[in-house]
Amino acid sequence: MLRKDIRINATAIWQYLSEKGKMSVQEIEELTHYKNSLILLALGWLSKENKVRFSVKNDNLYVELSSTPTEIYY
C-alpha cells in the first residue's frame, strides 16, 4: 500500500466524518467497505495531522473530527 492510497482513504473518511459526525470504526467499515486495517491506517494518518479525536464506549472505538470543517480551513 502506498502513502498516496492511505491519504486517499483518509480523505474519504474525513469527508464522511464531516458529513455524519462521530462514527465507530465499525460504522466506517460498513460505509466505506474498506478493510479494518486500511481504516486504522487512514485514522492514524488523520490523527498524526490532528484532524480527529478518539473515544471508547462499550468497547467500541469512535472517531470524530477535532474541529468543525470551517475551523480547519478558515
Show the domains of the chain with their CATH numbers.
1-65 (1.10.10.10)
Global pTM value = 0.85
Question: Per-residue pLDDT tens for 29-64?
Answer: 999 999 999 999 999 999 999 999 999 999 999 999
What is the pLDDT, as a whole number, of residue 58?
96
At residue 67 the predicted structure's pLDDT band, cuts being 50, 70 and 90, is: confident
At residue 69 the predicted structure's pLDDT band, cuts being 50, 70 and 90, is: low
* 3-state DSSP assignment of residue 19: helix
> What's the mean pLDDT when you consider all of the chain?
92
CA distance 27 to 4: 23
* 3-state DSSP assignment of residue 51: coil
Cβ neighbours of 27 (radius 10 Å): 15
